Amino acid sequence: MKKIKSFIIDTSALHEGPITRGYTISGDSGAVFSVIVQNEDGHFYNFPENTVVSEEEGVFTPSGSFSATTSGLFQKSIDENGTYKGVISFPSISDDDYYQITIIADNSHDTEFDEKMSLDKLVYYSPRINQYTNTTLTFSLSSTLQDAGDESYGTYPSNYTTTGLSTSYSAANIKTSFSISWALALNDNDFIIARQPRINDFYFTTTKDTLTAGTGTSLELKNIEGLSVGMGVSGTGIAGGATITKIIKGYKDENKSTAAKAVYVIPKALSSDGLTMIDSIGGTVVISASSTFVADRTLTFTGYGFGGASEFNSTKFTISNLKVVINPVTTTTDAVVSNSTTIPITSTNGIRAVDTVLMTGVGVTAASPHVDTVNAGVSVVVSAAQTIENGQTVVFTGSSRAATVTGDVEIQRHGKDNLTLTLELDNILTVS
């Protein structure tokens, strides 16, 4: 019997492609074999070398592709040098995929696998090759309070997005830098700065389903992947403001647990390829407030900043020089002001009555007065009497209908899947 002794191909993960990889089958000269390549959908690789090329007849070498039509490389033989070399062209993908390469020894041609290669003398399965799409990281804006109310912000500025290699393909840090600049505008009302933004003001959400019903602080979930201590928890029956305080793999075994010690058991589950048994991805999270929940209920978990994103899907980023600046409100007097605290102006839009909102301008006293009262569309009352000519420009700082958020972003690693990080405007701007 002629022996097939080895099959060599790079089985490391593929990026979203396209990409070509060579392979070598070694063994005794004249050994006959067939090769079949199938993707995640069970479609077959067409092996372009099967096509008889005839330029005169307009038949050219096709590109490598997969289809439902059964196809393979059939009854090829190892040459006199003891090898057969070929290539497989993996196509571009729009979602994650994998490939299974099967080699079949042709027993009718007195061929079998060397036992060091395969205990099955006639069939060899190569390790599965995974292919991963690039992932996108998105930076966006939101106001929980305003979006749920009168939507004073109207349309938000455009998101910033960046795409890179999935961590599932490569864990190497590949830095990408860019600057953000969001110009915010209110349709009405006004805002003041609550505080300057921080990296943890960027949040993301994910959902998980409960496994069992109960009351208390221990939630049994079907999937705890990506969760981390400190994440917010919300949903029907969950106490307001609840957060994760502890994460435990597996579920509590009431028969083995005692009052002094809880015992958790990690069940086994079938792997995604259906070939092996692995630890279940389910587990238990302990939350900060007692709640009531039922089985198969979807809960929302909210993560924050660098730490949350890194734990969730290995996304790593930093933001420096992050700040918000409120644009000053510029208007004019529309009547003479003579030793009065009431200042008639052409527009009061964006001006708020608060001691941090100051008025400046020609004729305004050196100690900038603050705004005590706003008479909408008519005038403001300030903290010190002024004498100002009609038509004089006056400037109000500290409140506005326009602001700008800026910062410098560095992406150190894209995660294993897409992620949207949203800046919570309510943390940094207070809308009247």
CB 252 within 8 A of CB 205: no
**φ/ψ bin of 401: left (φ > 0), alpha (ψ from -120 to 50), beta (otherwise):** alpha
Do residues 12 and 118 share a domain?
yes
Question: Please, which residues have CB within 8 angstroms of residue 319's CB and are 6 or more apart in sequence?
Answer: 199, 202, 407, 408, 409, 410
Q: Domain for residue 169, yes or no? A: no
Range of the domain at 236: 202-315+413-431
Question: Please, which residues have CB within 8 angstroms of residue 28's CB and are 6 or more apart in sequence?
Answer: 2, 3, 4, 5, 78, 82
Do residues 101 and 213 share a domain?
no
How large is the average pLDDT for residues 199-207? 97
Q: Domain for residue 362, yes or no? A: yes
Cα separations in angstroms, 352 against 181, 187, 215, 355: 25, 15, 46, 9
Do residues 254 and 353 share a domain?
no
Query: Which residue among 92, 113, 131 closes a domain?
Result: 131
pTM of the predicted model as reported, rounded to 2 decimal places: 0.85
Task: Report which residue type is found at 334.
Answer: D
The CATH number that applies at residue 357 is 2.40.10
The CATH number that applies at residue 76 is 2.60.40.2550
CB 236 within 8 A of CB 297: yes
Question: Please, which residues have CB within 8 angstroms of residue 68's CB and are 6 or more apart in sequence?
Answer: 42, 43, 44
Q: Domain for residue 295, yes or no? A: yes
How large is the average pLDDT for residues 186-213? 94
pLDDT of residue 332: 96
pLDDT of residue 2: 95
The residue among 22, 48, 46, 39 whose CA lies nearest residue 94 is 39
pLDDT of residue 54: 54
Q: Domain for residue 262, yes or no? A: yes
Do residues 223 and 284 share a domain?
yes
Number of domains, the chain: 3
Token digits of residue 223:
């999937």
Question: Please, which residues have CB within 8 angstroms of residue 62's CB and are 6 or more apart in sequence?
Answer: 46, 48, 51
Has residue 173 got a pLDDT over 80? no
Q: Which residue reads 């809308």 in tokens?
A: 431
For 103-116, how does the pLDDT look when each residue is reduced to its tens digit (9 = 90+)?
Answer: 999 999 999 999 99
How large is the average pLDDT for residues 369-375? 95
pLDDT of residue 60: 58
Do residues 23 and 80 share a domain?
yes
How large is the average pLDDT for residues 337-358? 95
The residue among 123, 12, 17, 14 whose CA lies nearest residue 65 is 17
Selected residue with higher pLDDT from 365 and 10? 10
Cα separations in angstroms, 303 against 2, 234, 330, 377: 59, 12, 40, 42
Q: Domain for residue 142, yes or no? A: no
Locate all alpha helices (DSSP H) within 115-197, ordered by sequence: 144-147
Q: Domain for residue 194, yes or no? A: no
Do residues 295 and 387 share a domain?
no
CB 163 within 8 A of CB 382: no
| Dihedral sign from CA coordinates of 352, 353, 358, 364 | positive
Cis peptide before 18 (omega within 30 of 0): yes
Token digits of residue 294:
């039922």
Question: In whole angstroms, what is the distance from residue 321 CA to residue 323 CA?
Answer: 6
Question: In whole angstroms, what is the distance from residue 12 CA to residue 161 CA?
Answer: 28
Do residues 254 and 354 share a domain?
no
Q: Domain for residue 322, yes or no? A: no
Burial of 349 (0-12, 13-18, 19+ CB in 10 A): middle
pLDDT of residue 188: 86
pLDDT above 90 covers a percentage of the chain that reads: 81
Do residues 305 and 424 share a domain?
yes
Token digits of residue 351:
């001006």
Do residues 425 and 359 share a domain?
no
Do residues 238 and 303 share a domain?
yes
Question: In whole angstroms, what is the distance from residue 125 CA to residue 104 CA?
Answer: 9
Confidence bin at 65 (pLDDT 50/70/90): confident
Do residues 252 and 214 share a domain?
yes
pLDDT of residue 274: 66
Q: Domain for residue 153, yes or no? A: no
Q: What is the mean pLDDT of the chain?
A: 92
pLDDT of residue 211: 94
Question: Please, which residues have CB within 8 angstroms of residue 71's CB and are 6 or more apart in sequence?
Answer: 36, 44, 45, 46, 47, 50
Do residues 211 and 297 share a domain?
yes
For 383-429, how does the pLDDT look when each residue is reduced to its tens digit (9 = 90+)?
Answer: 999 999 999 999 999 999 999 999 999 999 999 999 999 999 999 99
pLDDT of residue 359: 96
Other CB atoms within a 10 A radius of the CB of residue 386 amount to 21
pLDDT of residue 148: 66
Has residue 358 got a pLDDT over 80? yes
Confidence bin at 149 (pLDDT 50/70/90): low
